[in-house]
Structure 1
Amino acid sequence: MFPDLAEQLCVREQQGLRRFRQVVESPQATHITIDGRDYLAFSSNDYLGLANHRDLIQSVCEGAQQYGVGAGASHLIHGHSAAHHSLEDALAQFTGFPRALLFSTGYMANIGVVTALVGREDAIFADKLNHASLNDAALLSRAKFIRYPHIDLAALEQRLATSNARRKLVISDAVFSMEGDIAPIPQLVALCEQYHALLLLDDAHGFGVLGKQGRGSLLMSDHLKQHSPSIVYMATLGKAAGVFGAFVAAQAEVIEALIQSARSYIYTTATPPLLSHALLTSLRLIEQDEWRRDALARNIAQLKEALQSSPWQLLPSSTPIQPLLIGDNAETVRISQGLRKRGILVPAIRPPTVPQGTARLRISLSATHQPHDILQLTQALHELVVS
């Protein structure tokens, strides 16, 4: 019935780009079970090891007892529970913004923010390595979509200076999800203030991991002790926070504008309140468990040292995302499959997720990986060099 779709799938498979889902039969952790086999996993964004934390499990149970399971309605039609409201207040305080707003996912948050804040007469300036959700949001907004080379501030300034758009919005990952590097946030803020632009920062991979007490990439720099009113901050709650969802934090008028105009907020059922109840516990753990970020730093250092002699290059990253650049699609898949045969999971990342010729293994580290786990991975990689 759909021969063109079948042909597209065949071509994708021939190019080594077809993806397959794997059914995980265990809780998310550094060791997971797939098809009855146990694996050492370097494939999760559970950076702090909270996804299966006993305190979060207990909080989910308490939240279900107090609020039930489903929210039953959108936030604007009696689906906004006390749990949601308490979490929004806590997230605003935790990140240092006047207000915060919950979204169901980071993808929906980016779509909602961008399409609510800019339109046909406006311009969006985007880093070329931004996450797909930011690119999709820009296209949906119908604003002029202007991209600049990765972290090229001179190119960004030139584009901002020559724009006559009614409203300007710069959008950027804070931590780039496939590179692991960090955007030059103080300089981005300065440019946005100079050229009267808003700045949307997607901190999906920095929140909980970076900054004082895990409060995010914005608080890594002494230059940003007080947030610029030009910043709109988005972070997800299903990675380092270990649960689900996302939030946007900003000035009060920005949050109120999103409540009134962000379609991905208005026209969807609110997330289960029990998740917000659990996330209050997650915030407490993120704030108090400094040992988790210390363990991550040790794991990153161990991996970097062990792979110094590898013919494959670790991209420069100080975050838990450690991309090992292979280049060729087929070779990247071979190495990933070789690791799997040895009981180790590291995903092969290929185009179109990354540019052509830059296929890589995306090694994701967790605070709960042990030194012998990283040793097992690096020894297996060295074996695969000569196999």
Structure 2
Amino acid sequence: MPSWLEVLDRRARLRAKAGLSRRLRPRDATEDLLDLAGNDYLGLSRHPEVTAAAAEALTGYGLGATGSRLVRGSTEPHHALEATLAQWLGAGRALVFSSGYLANLGAVRALVQPRTLLVSDAHNHASLIDGCRLSGAETVVTPHLDVAAVEAALAGAPGRPAVVVTESVFSVDGDLAPLAELHAVARRHGALLLVDDAHALGVLGPDGAGAVAAAGLGGASDVVVTATLSKALGGAGGVVAGPAELARHLIDTGRTFIYDTALPPAVAAGVLAATRLARTGAGLRAELAERAAAVTRRLGAAGLEVSTPTAGVVSVTAPGPETAVAWAADCRDRGVAVGCFRPPSTPDSRSRLRLTINVGLDRRDFDRALDVIVECAP
């Protein structure tokens, strides 16, 4: 019988043969690549007001939170950030976690009762999928964006508590869920709607409050919103926003909240500054939308298969995983960083380059990056 290390080695060789190996690459602080791979949509991660707020909190509180939120880690920046997020999203209360992944795991688990049915979109993020699996609840996976399939799943479980689980802007192709229709279906069947608004917060909706707010659902008692604080807000962490009773339940019972060291106070302070900038960033959002449209025009005119963006995510289909890796590497060699998404990171087994719009880039550099992507295309 092979040893466990031999088993791991064999699996690694199989992944390499299929073009699915991954590699960590250190990034220097002075790297000059044009960034169309990260999620800093509004260019706030290096904004002087954001870094100054983080630096002040770093001096005051030190490097880390030193404990969980309940033991030692719940600082004034955490509470100020939660109050601001709740007001922005129109929620009764917001609760900050150390990552968006943990926020999703905690939110899904918190909404599960005995006999709960979870109805999950087939293209949902891994954190939502894992939340459904770890909750132990029965989960029905419905075809992507298929409202009729969601209704059928709910109709097939009359009298049972249910939660419809979806992203708003999906993280691979950047398409938008029909949130108003999903909410109407969920409400007809007495179900809750859980929306991961990670890629829409700061980008869509009134004052950048996200896709849930854009759909007119902000503050609805049967809607729960989660998001990361690492995309348009340029920081780290996650949030669950909804009725105050949900936050109370998570504080009392949420394992990914209770047993996890808190988000560093300096990060919370920086994200708080970023929320203020994002809420008044209508010009940044307009520029982001124009650049997303420019990507579709430029790459589509070159004969590439490009998604139609609803926010800041654009995907470009690659012939296969090895081709995608080579394409991304060629772009990098010419000074442009792009995302390279291959199975199992893609929900449909197709490989892609994923481009994320960054309005922090000079427009001439942004246009040059698009030229490089076209010139390096297989």
Report the TM-score when normalising by structure 1. 0.92
Residue 369 of structure 1 corresponds to which residue in structure 2?
361
Letter in 2 for 1:74: S
Residue 205 of structure 1 corresponds to which residue in structure 2?
199
1:183 and 2:150 aligned: no
Q: Secondary structure at the match of 1:345?
A: strand
1:73 and 2:76 aligned: no
Residue 257 of structure 1 corresponds to which residue in structure 2?
249
Matched residues in 1 for 2:172 and 2:334: separation?
24
1:19 and 2:22 aligned: yes
Matched residues in 1 for 2:345 and 2:230: separation?
20
1:142 and 2:136 aligned: yes
Residue 321 of structure 1 corresponds to which residue in structure 2?
313
Cα deviation for residue 68 of structure 1 reads 3.2
Is the Cα contact below 8 Å between 2:293 and 2:309 reproduced in 1? Answer: no
The one of the two structures with greater contact order (alpha-carbon pairs below 8 A, sep at least 6) is 2
Percent pairwise identity: 35
Is the Cα contact below 8 Å between 2:292 and 2:309 reproduced in 1? Answer: no
Q: Secondary structure at the match of 1:170?
A: strand
Matched residues in 2 for 1:166 and 1:261: separation?
22
1:6 and 2:9 aligned: yes
The CA RMSD measured in Å over matched residues stands at: 1.7
Cα deviation for residue 120 of structure 1 reads 5.0
Cα deviation for residue 349 of structure 1 reads 0.8
Matched residues in 2 for 1:150 and 1:39: separation?
34
Q: How many residues align?
A: 375
Q: Which runs of structure 1 show a deviation greater than 4 angstroms over 4 or more consecutive aligned residues?
A: none
Match of 2:35 among 41, 47, 60: 41
Alignment of 1:283-362 (within 5 A): 283-355=275-347, 357-362=349-354
Q: Secondary structure at the match of 1:183?
A: coil
Question: Using a 3 Å threshold, how does the CA distance of structure 1 residues 278 and 337 change in structure 2: closer, same or farther?
Answer: closer
Alignment of 1:13-162 (within 5 A): 13-26=16-29, 33=31, 38-119=32-113, 121-162=115-156
Matched residues in 1 for 2:143 and 2:348: separation?
16
Residues 46-65 of structure 1: per-residue CA shift (max 9 Å, x gap) = 00101111111111121123
Unaligned runs of 5+ in 1: 27-31
Match of 2:189 among 173, 195, 219: 195
Matched residues in 1 for 2:54 and 2:329: separation?
36
Residues 28-73 of structure 1: per-residue CA shift (max 9 Å, x gap) = xxxx61xxxx322211000010111111111112112333333222
Q: Secondary structure at the match of 2:34?
A: strand
Cα deviation for residue 355 of structure 1 reads 4.1
Match of 2:229 among 237, 241, 257: 237
Question: Using a 3 Å threshold, how does the CA distance of structure 1 residues 25 and 266 change in structure 2: closer, same or farther?
Answer: same
Report the TM-score when normalising by structure 2. 0.95
Cα deviation for residue 291 of structure 1 reads 1.8
Letter in 2 for 1:211: G
Question: Using a 3 Å threshold, how does the CA distance of structure 1 residues 5 and 96 change in structure 2: closer, same or farther?
Answer: same
